[in-house]
Amino acid sequence: MILNRLPGVLLAALLAVAAPLASAQGEILLTVTESSGKSVDFDLATLEAMGGTTLDTHTSWTDGLQRFTGVRADELLEPFIRHGATVRAVALNGYEATMSLELLLDYPAIIAYKRNGQYMAIRDKGPLWMIFPLDEFPELKGLESDQRMVWQLRHLVVE
């Protein structure tokens, strides 16, 4: 796995500036809602401006090694961590998976917007897909992790 990340302080500053602009820009791909009900919307440009992380792994739904590019889930959720202990990931079709914030802090999962260098269409599990580094952390392999790897991700609820 290759990680290219902005330092936490720079990321927090970027979020403070970029998050309010997201609703005024392109199509909203992801909404993060905290327990107080406050929501922040992210479009593709805002997610890409946060810096891309590349993760190479196999999944149960793809053939061979795949290269995913996206935003580290722990970095995206950093401003919301103090507002809950779990994250509910909700797909466009209403599918939901709940996971602990601790899991997202312990393992470098990403909210992927590219697979093998290409943006993902809805028919290809996009535009966003929660990806865990299954090859790097064998303990993550199995049905429970597969259920957490929500494709067509649209909403994260911190509870």
Query: Within 13 Å of residue 14, how many CA atoms lie on the same side as its CB?
Result: 19
* Closest among 156, 125, 152, 158 to 59, alpha carbons compared: 125
**Rounded to an integer, what distance in angstroms lies between the CA atom of residue 3 and that of residue 23?**
28
What structural domains and CATH numbers belong to the chain?
Answer: 8-158 (3.90.420.10)
pLDDT 10s digits, 63-111: 999 999 999 999 999 888 877 799 999 999 999 999 999 999 899 999 9
**Rounded to an integer, what distance in angstroms lies between the CA atom of residue 135 and that of residue 151?**
18
Is the pLDDT reported for residue 12 higher than 80?
no
Higher pLDDT, 6 or 102: 102
* Closest among 40, 64, 73 to 150, alpha carbons compared: 73
Is the pLDDT reported for residue 5 higher than 80?
no
36 pLDDT band, cuts 50/70/90, is confident
Q: Which residue type is seen at 155?
A: H
pLDDT of residue 144: 87
pTM as predicted: 0.83
pLDDT of residue 51: 85
The DSSP 8-state label assigned to residue 47 in this structure reads H
pLDDT 10s digits, 108-151: 999 999 999 999 999 999 999 999 999 999 999 888 888 999 99
Can you read off the two tokens belonging to residue 118? 């290409």
Is the pLDDT reported for residue 1 higher than 70?
no
